[in-house]
């Protein structure tokens, strides 16, 4: 059986359920936020973890894997994708091009990092999504202000990840990889420098072929996983991988690409059953 | 057309076709996000606030 686990029912989880039913799969959609875990033996089910909180999703995946269950995505992949610095390190180890970055562990170090990267610079939290708390910093004074504010946001924000600002002419690319195969991509356009469709970015189809397709396979080789969403910038010198997501939202990507993303995901999951 | 009463403003919120438990509804009157916690009879609670690690 395929078990789709959620804590907040989004359009994506409903689409996954519908796709599984269309394929005639044995499937259950389960709200797990009030459930108690542990004490139950292993089974042959595949668990598609779609909890909206990354920490909860990872905790559940670790627990289920500890009991010998097959989880999508594996906990190790959630760990890599849920931590911006871990993703960066994995990509760097695989020599995959990404925007230049600096890591700093103090406010003084963060300012020096921004100066070294040059302005504009982008301050990113190492955890988080939907473009939350990203800060494009245009000069030293702005950097000082952002750093001072981050100092009050808790321990997670004392790891300063400073990235070069990539001029992307108003668009970037989000590509989907299922079972190691790049299946489709969208180009996201926005008047705002943050192009997430969750923040109002518009989507159109981006052909996946050649250099882009090969790069996506390399990203999968570096990160692993069953279902990835890879964010990229196209530049004059080639593609840069910006982020890799393990709990992708895809509702705005089906129509522009014409690809049934949820069906590809559940079909892949069905093939994992033992 | 099934409706449910918003727990914040008591406005009437229409359930979409095929609504499922756990689904998030938006109250058209006050804008509150509501979680559909029961289908029969329909009942809603205020949906949890977005947390720092929510997302993709």
pLDDT at B7: 94
| CATH (domain of A181) | 3.30.470.20
Residue A14: pLDDT above 90? Answer: yes
Task: Give the closest residue to A240 by CA, choosing from A97, A87, A101.
Answer: A97
Q: Is residue A77 part of a domain?
A: no
Q: How far apart are CA A58 and CA A228, in angstroms?
A: 15
pLDDT at B55: 77
Are residues A250 and A181 both part of a single domain?
yes
pLDDT at A274: 62
Chain B nearest-CA distance from A243, in A, is: 11
Q: Is residue A182 part of a domain?
A: yes
- Inter-chain residue contact A9 with B52, CB threshold 8 Å: no
Asked if B22 contacts B12 with a C-beta cutoff of 8 angstroms, the reply is no
- Interface test with chain B among A6, A9, A14, by most B beta carbons within 10 Å: A9
- In B, minimum Cα distance to A50 occurs at B56
Which carries the bigger pLDDT value, residue B50 or residue A77? A77
Which chain B residues touch A82 with a CB distance below 8 Å?
Answer: 53
Query: What's this model's pTM, rounded to 2 decimal places?
Result: 0.91
Are residues A189 and A127 both part of a single domain?
no
What is the share, in percent, of chain A residues with pLDDT greater than 70?
Answer: 96
Q: Is residue A42 part of a domain?
A: no
Chain B nearest-CA distance from A214, in A, is: 24
- In A, minimum Cα distance to B18 occurs at A14
Average confidence (pLDDT) over A153-173: 86
pLDDT in tens, A18-66: 999 999 999 999 999 889 988 766 688 999 999 999 999 999 999 999 9
* Domain termination site, one of A164, A182, A203: A164
Which chain B residues touch A127 with a CB distance below 8 Å?
Answer: 52-53
Asked if A202 contacts A190 with a C-beta cutoff of 8 angstroms, the reply is yes
pLDDT at A36: 92
- Inter-chain residue contact A9 with B51, CB threshold 8 Å: no
- Inter-chain residue contact A29 with B47, CB threshold 8 Å: no
Q: Kindly list the residues of chain B whose beta carbon comes within 8 Å of any beta carbon in chain A.
A: 18, 20-24, 35, 47-48, 51-56
Are residues A145 and A190 both part of a single domain?
no
Average confidence (pLDDT) over A172-199: 87
pLDDT in tens, B23-53: 999 999 999 999 999 999 999 999 988 877 7
Are residues A240 and A201 both part of a single domain?
yes
Q: Is residue A85 part of a domain?
A: no
- In A, minimum Cα distance to B33 occurs at A8
Q: Is residue A105 part of a domain?
A: yes
Domains of chain B: 3-46 (2.20.28.160)
Are residues A175 and A241 both part of a single domain?
yes
> A 230-269 residues with CB below 8 A of B?
245-249
Q: Is residue A35 part of a domain?
A: no
Q: Quick one: pLDDT band at residue A198, thresholds 50, 70, 90? A: low
Which chain B residues touch A51 with a CB distance below 8 Å?
Answer: none
pLDDT at A199: 67
pLDDT at B48: 87
Residue A206: pLDDT above 90? Answer: yes
pLDDT at A39: 79
pLDDT at A73: 96
* Domain termination site, one of A139, A164, A189: A164
Q: What is the mean pLDDT of chain A?
A: 93
Q: Is residue A148 part of a domain?
A: yes
Q: Is residue A217 part of a domain?
A: yes
Helices (H), chain A: 11-22, 54-66, 75-82, 84-93, 107-117, 140-150, 210-223, 254-257, 261-270
What total number of domains does chain A contain? 2
Residue A169 class from Cβ within 10 Å (0-12 exposed, 13-18 middle, 19+ buried)?
exposed
- Inter-chain residue contact B56 with A127, CB threshold 8 Å: no
Residue A170: pLDDT above 70? Answer: no
Establish if A156 touches chain B: CB-CB under 8 angstroms. Answer: yes
pLDDT at A197: 65
pLDDT at A105: 95
Are residues A149 and A205 both part of a single domain?
no
Asked if A36 contacts A11 with a C-beta cutoff of 8 angstroms, the reply is no
Chain A nearest-CA distance from B10, in A, is: 23
* Domain termination site, one of A164, A187, A213: A164
pLDDT in tens, A217-262: 999 999 999 999 999 999 988 999 999 999 999 999 999 999 999 9
Establish if A176 touches chain B: CB-CB under 8 angstroms. Answer: no
Q: How far apart are CA A92 and CA A234, in angstroms?
A: 18
| CATH (domain of A111) | 3.30.1490.20
pLDDT at A25: 97
- In B, minimum Cα distance to A228 occurs at B56
Average confidence (pLDDT) over A60-73: 95
**ipTM score:** 0.75
Give me the domain span that covers residue A143. Answer: 101-164
Residue A201: pLDDT above 80? Answer: no
Are residues A144 and A214 both part of a single domain?
no
Which chain A residues touch B47 with a CB distance below 8 Å?
Answer: 8
- Span of A5-9, A102-106, A123-127, A230-234 with lowest mean pLDDT: A123-127
């Amino acid at each position: 059986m395929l078990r789709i686990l959620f804590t907040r029912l989004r359009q994506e989880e409903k689409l996954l359920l519908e796709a599984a039913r269309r394929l005639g799969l044995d499937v259950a959609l389960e709200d797990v936020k009030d459930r108690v875990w542990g004490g139950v033996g292993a089974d042959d089910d595949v668990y598609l973890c779609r909890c909206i909180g990354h920490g909860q999703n990872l905790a559940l995946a670790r627990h289920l894997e500890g009991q010998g269950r097959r989880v999508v995505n594996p906990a190790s992949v959630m760990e890599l994708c849920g931590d911006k610095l871990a993703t960066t390190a994995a990509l760097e180890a695989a020599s995959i091009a990404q925007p230049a970055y600096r890591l700093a562990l103090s406010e003084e170090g963060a300012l020096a990092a921004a100066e070294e990267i040059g302005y504009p610079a982008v301050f990113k939290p190492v955890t988080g999504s939907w473009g939350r708390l990203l800060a494009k910093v245009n000069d030293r004074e702005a950097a000082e202000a952002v750093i001072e504010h981050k100092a009050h946001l808790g321990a997670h924000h004392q790891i300063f990840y400073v990235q070069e600002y990539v001029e992307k002419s108003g668009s970037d690319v989000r590509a989907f990889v299922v079972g190691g195969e790049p299946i489709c991509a969208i180009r996201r356009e926005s008047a705002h420098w943050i192009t997430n469709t969750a923040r109002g970015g518009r989507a159109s189809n981006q052909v996946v072929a050649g250099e882009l397709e090969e790069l996506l396979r390399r990203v999968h080789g570096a990160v692993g996983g069953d279902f990835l969403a890879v964010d990229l910038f196209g530049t004059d010198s080639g593609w840069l991988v910006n982020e890799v997501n393990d709990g992708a939202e895809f509702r705005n990507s089906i129509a522009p690409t014409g690809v049934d993303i949820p069906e590809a995901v559940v079909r892949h999951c069905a093939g994992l059953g033992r | 057309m099934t409706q449910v009463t918003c727990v914040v403003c008591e406005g009437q919120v229409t359930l979409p076709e095929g609504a499922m438990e756990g689904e998030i509804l938006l109250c058209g009157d006050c804008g509150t996000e509501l979680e559909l916690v029961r289908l029969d009879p329909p009942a809603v609670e205020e949906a949890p606030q977005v947390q720092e690690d929510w997302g993709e």
